[in-house]
Amino acid sequence: MSDKAAAGAEILYNDKWLAETTFRNLVRFYKAELHRIIRGAPARSLMSYPKLRRLRNDGVLVYCRGSPKGSRPSRYVLTARARAVLDNLE
């Protein structure tokens, strides 16, 4: 493996490590709010839209559309990965 390929592999490893660390830190920082979302509190009443967008873009939350007739409301839910990290924090 050339030096250039080794450097590229190291950068890729560092990017994955940074993404995973950022994800865990977000879950740890918003722990109380995420627990309230699990219990059914509306996410938009707990956090501002930019914070929700950040959590959605980083894979902590997923936006679930409700039914057209309103029997199921639209809401944000935690991803399985975020729930696993949250369970390991306790």
Condensed to tens digits (0 to 9), the pLDDT of residues 2-45 reads: 565 565 666 666 788 888 999 999 999 999 999 999 998 988 89
Q: Are 10 and 18 in contact (CB under 8 A)?
A: no
* Angle, vertex CA 34, rays to CA 85 and CA 26, nearest 5: 55
| Residue 67 pLDDT | 74
Q: Which pLDDT does position 59 carry in this prediction?
A: 92
Checking if the pLDDT of 61 tops 70, the result is yes
Number of structural domains found in the chain: 1
Q: What percent of the chain has pLDDT over 90?
A: 50
Among 12, 38, 28, 3, which Cα is nearest to 89's?
28
Distance (Å, rounded) from C-alpha 36 to C-alpha 47?
11
Four-point Cα dihedral 10, 53, 65, 19, nearest 10: 10
Domain that holds residue 84: 3-89
Model's pTM, two decimal places?
Answer: 0.77
